[in-house]
A and B are shown apart, each in its own frame.
Chain A
Amino acid sequence: MMGPIFTVARKEFKDGFRNRWIVAISGIYALLAIGLAFFGAAASGTLGFVSLDSTMSALASLAVFIIPLIALMLCYDAFVGEQESGTLLLLLTYPLSKTQLLLGKFVGHGAILAVANIIGFGTAALVVCLFGEEVDVANVIAKFSAFIAYAILLSWVFIGVAFTISCLVDEKSKAAGLALICWFLLVLVFDLALLALLVAGDGIIDAQMLPYLLWLNPTDLFRLINLNGLSLDEYAGVMSVAAGAQFSQPTLILVMLMWVILPLGLANFLFNRKGL
């Protein structure tokens, strides 16, 4: 059972090294985090490292755009790409099930993104420890470790979403378009729509229910999880919806895990139904 999964995962992971995905993503993440840590406060007239909490908060709200995009770009062609090139047909005549192939690809791609997250944001943490003024090293390590764990979780969610897209369509170009639309809807439109609902539709939705709407979007969950761990005075934008409801961290992580499993399950269902 595990043999073929591991074989596929190993191949996918090696591919990630070969075509420089891991290096590129790590670089982007490191630059993003270091830039925010030292120049994030430039707008308010200060240069240099200000505070860990404001850095993490800024990082969470920017990473939420870039992490899903990168996961979608890495994985949108996982199945449709091999279908177009013809290798999928050959693979399916081998002694491995479609589910094993899907899980193998998930483990491989999941490992690529996990490694890139760890190297990228880990480097940033190291730089903050070395060059930041008056930093509590233990606190930096704790906060960054938590952030990296959540970032990996968010990456995995979007691998599942990308796989679903990849199993849904028969052309690579369509998958790319759908992935972009998906990103746009979840990362941008969803929050705007929720805010509009808040402002315009006063009382339409039960106030108690409102915070749970954030569960419907993994990117909002990611921000919630990150903000929960920080001592910030106020939640900005759509996050204010959740200010009233005190979700516990384990609950949010559990919901996030559901967001990993559900799209992956959907992708598996579509893949098993897909004709060649």
Chain B
Amino acid sequence: MSNNIVNLAQVHKSFGTVNALNGIDLNLAEGEVLGLFGHNGAGKSTLMKMILGLFEPTQGTIEVMGHNPTSSKAAKVRQQIGYLPENVSFYDQLTGQEVLTYFARLKRIKLSRVNQLLDEVGLAPAMLRQVKTYSKGMRQRLGLAQAMLGSPKLLLLDEPTVGLDPIATHQFYQSVDSLKRQGSAVILCSHVLPGVERHISKLMIVSGGKTLAAGTISQLRQQTQLPVIIKTRGLNHQQLDGLDLGVFIDQAQDDSVDLHVPNDIAQQVLVKIAPLPQLTHFEMTHASLEDLYLHYLQQSQPTRIKEVS
């Protein structure tokens, strides 16, 4: 038996004639945070719901903490899973405190944790107000508190930062980091890419129910061979040509030159230009999560068009 929290092998799911998932493989170990990315309808939410045991796979196997999540033995496992659904909603006529108390009771968690959690997500001042008076961001924070009940071993978050202001987003990622340090596994499903990269240990890009790419960010950078962009100031075309770097020049304007350099030789290029006395400033940017995401989606476009026709 592996010590993976989540194991998916060749999981297929179809609803009638619609194939929602087509052969997904996924392994997630303790302390890993997986970023799950894809456009609307790519199958992200379906994947999460299957890990939660809400549907049986049409084909393939799912194991969560050593159990099939749809089996009757999974109730114990569910105790250790936190889930934040997309567009979370609660009982409007209850107060924030009553909502969280209800969910804490269902999970058999000490009720003293309720006020503590409400405080952590910044809802303490509003906890005695009915949920119907809450703003979108406050509902989202209540949803997060709900998902964090009982320090889950596995946390599934569907669009967790939608509606959160920058400070709340920052606090949210801090809680994710601290759960990760405690050994929880987290699946983070998001459209919002900037800022996520620092908090995820690996990522998976899905489209049309298939995995387009999976691995760590550096693995995917390697795979895509997306260039590293080096922006320089003070150098000119001739000087770079003299160093045999002319082929990498993407844009040159007066004394500012941009180089697009393959990932694996970026360091050598830096070593070459760094000693030049004319160099006043430089910036190096790796392909961002957004660049990787767009790259893989664009790659998959032709096949997607074929499938439709």
- Chain A residues within 8 Å of B, Cβ to Cβ: 3-4, 7-8, 11, 15, 18-19, 85-87, 89-97, 275-276
**Distance (whole angstroms) from the CB of B298 to the closest CB of chain A:** 33
**Distance (whole angstroms) from the CB of B59 to the closest CB of chain A:** 17
Give Cα A28–Cα B106 distance, bound, in whole angstroms.
34
Contact B103 A94, beta carbon cutoff 8 Å: yes
CB<8 Å pairs between A and B, sample of 26: A7-B105, A15-B91, A18-B93, A85-B89, A86-B87, A86-B89, A87-B89, A87-B91, A89-B54, A90-B88, A90-B103, A91-B106, A92-B54, A93-B52, A93-B53, A93-B81, A94-B103, A95-B75, A95-B76, A95-B78, A95-B79, A95-B106, A95-B107, A97-B72, A97-B75, A275-B55
**Distance (whole angstroms) from the CB of A194 to the closest CB of chain B:** 42
Instruction: Provide the residues of chain B in CB contact with A85, threshold 8 Å.
Output: 89
**Distance (whole angstroms) from the CB of B16 to the closest CB of chain A:** 11
Give Cα A3–Cα B54 distance, bound, in whole angstroms.
22
Give Cα A89–Cα B91 distance, bound, in whole angstroms.
13
Within 8 A of A (CB), among B82-108: 83, 85, 87-91, 93, 102-103, 105-108
Known: A87-B89, A93-B53, A94-B106. 4 other contacts (CB 8 A): A18-B93, A90-B88, A93-B81, A95-B79
- Chain B residues within 8 Å of A, Cβ to Cβ: 49, 52-55, 72, 75-76, 78-79, 81, 83, 85, 87-91, 93, 102-103, 105-108, 146
CB nearest to A85 among chain B residues: B89
**Distance (whole angstroms) from the CB of B111 to the closest CB of chain A:** 12
Contact B107 A94, beta carbon cutoff 8 Å: yes
CB nearest to A4 among chain B residues: B106
Contact B108 A86, beta carbon cutoff 8 Å: no
Give Cα A86–Cα B103 distance, bound, in whole angstroms.
14
Instruction: Provide the residues of chain B in CB contact with A87, threshold 8 Å.
Output: 89-91
Main secondary structure of the interface of A (DSSP, over half): helix
Give Cα A85–Cα B94 distance, bound, in whole angstroms.
14
Instruction: Provide the residues of chain B in CB contact with A96, threshold 8 Å.
Output: 75, 106
Contact B54 A93, beta carbon cutoff 8 Å: yes
**Distance (whole angstroms) from the CB of B163 to the closest CB of chain A:** 15
CB nearest to B90 among chain A residues: A87
Instruction: Provide the residues of chain A in CB contact with B52, threshold 8 Å.
Output: 93
Give Cα A91–Cα B90 distance, bound, in whole angstroms.
10
Also in contact, A89 and B106, with CB within 8 A (given A15-B93, A94-B78, A97-B75): no
**Distance (whole angstroms) from the CB of A77 to the closest CB of chain B:** 13
Instruction: Provide the residues of chain A in CB contact with B93, threshold 8 Å.
Output: 15, 18-19
**Distance (whole angstroms) from the CB of A6 to the closest CB of chain B:** 9
Instruction: Provide the residues of chain A in CB contact with B146, threshold 8 Å.
Output: 90
Also in contact, A276 and B78, with CB within 8 A (given A7-B102, A90-B83): no
Instruction: Provide the residues of chain A in CB contact with B76, threshold 8 Å.
Output: 95
**Distance (whole angstroms) from the CB of B85 to the closest CB of chain A:** 6
Give Cα A4–Cα B102 distance, bound, in whole angstroms.
10
Give Cα A276–Cα B87 distance, bound, in whole angstroms.
15
Give Cα A276–Cα B79 distance, bound, in whole angstroms.
21
Also in contact, A276 and B106, with CB within 8 A (given A90-B88, A95-B75): no
Give Cα A96–Cα B53 distance, bound, in whole angstroms.
12
**Distance (whole angstroms) from the CB of A94 to the closest CB of chain B:** 5
Give Cα A87–Cα B85 distance, bound, in whole angstroms.
10
Instruction: Provide the residues of chain A in CB contact with B88, threshold 8 Å.
Output: 86, 90
Give Cα A15–Cα B99 distance, bound, in whole angstroms.
12
4 closest A-B pairs (Cβ-Cβ)? A86-B89, A95-B78, A7-B105, A95-B75
**Distance (whole angstroms) from the CB of B164 to the closest CB of chain A:** 19
Also in contact, A11 and B102, with CB within 8 A (given A3-B108, A95-B79): yes
Contact B102 A93, beta carbon cutoff 8 Å: no
**Distance (whole angstroms) from the CB of A39 to the closest CB of chain B:** 37
